[in-house]
A and B are shown apart, each in its own frame.
Chain A
Amino acid sequence: MQLKDKMVGDILVLCPISSSIDASVSILFKGQIVDWIQKGYQRIVLDLSEVEFMDSSGLGVVISLTKTASRKDSLVLCNLHKAVRTLFRITRFDLVISIYDSLDDACRNMNH
């Protein structure tokens, strides 16, 4: 699964180029992001603008990433599609990880 990366200041922005994060790609997805975390990036924004669908395995990946990331709010999300946002809301996982409407919002909040 393709994962685009770019820097915005000292914030790493990762954008999965896949319309779906499900059981078939979740392991790969996790591995790629863990690689970035292990390189020492402390502030990571996961831009999910391409992801239209996420199932429990995708959610499972985000959960383990929040635990792998160095501190709370080290990893945040932005640009969630409606279905993905609903998944996070229903499971109340939006209480655990910060979710922003746009990349700008995410970066602005991370800079504080």
Chain B
Amino acid sequence: MVALLMHAAEQGLVFGIAALGVFISYRILRFPDLTVDGSFVTGAAIASSLIVVQGLDPALALALAFAAGCLAGMLTGFLHTRLGITDLLAGVLSMIMLYSINLRIMGKPTISLLRAETITNVISRILAPVGSAAILVFLAGVALVVKLLLDLFLKTEVGLALRATGDNEAMITAQGVNTKTMKVAGLALSNGLVALSGGLVAHYSGFVDIGMGIGTIVTGLAAVILGGSLIRSRRAGWMTASVLLGSLIYRTAVMFALRYGYAIGFQASDLKLVTSLLVIVALVIPTFRDRFLQRRRPC
């Protein structure tokens, strides 16, 4: 049971980084960005092929995975802001393009990292004293650092301009901000985090699969919405904390569903269906609640 919960926590943290990426596009920029389904795999592909083929240092490989994700986000931003393609379609186009690009990077649909030097191998050695908790400690550290850096950024002058871009675009344009640039930058950061998460997941699970990114947007949304309903704060620090909390709860729920769900005929392959239904319910509840309570909320 403890091992199961630890495993769920590890997953919650590592996927929580991707959820923080989705938080930036969906909550801050109000941009439903589907690029993440592709950029998650891009991160995994870069972080894996670089250590398998090039024998690169795993930490460096992960940094490059982040950079590749940033480029993917910039592509979507370019399609949307410069070429005038609608947000959803721009994301879909990037996602589909990334599918081919990811296959190019990987060379084949799956890569095994069993014999490669992954970040988890390195960490297990460095953190050997804490034993089986080494990976959990490491992932908690990474997630926390990402969260804190993001908090700091969102409170800077540029960070404020990014938030205002999603909040009131006309207003912030009148305050001298090029919202096109802000959107491109926001999407770059968002997809960078998603790709970093993808790279970590690959190292953590020991393999990459071309289809592993399917539904990243939905699981990310599940964490963002779940966390947001538990912690209702507009302060940057609380909002990012809520995303990580949402991800932890979601992964724990998934773990239990996979472990004990067979009793009600639940299969692993049903997961995406159930997650999407959960997100639909979570998205619809506020609308109906407000309709019944006749209360108005901003956006």
A binds B: no
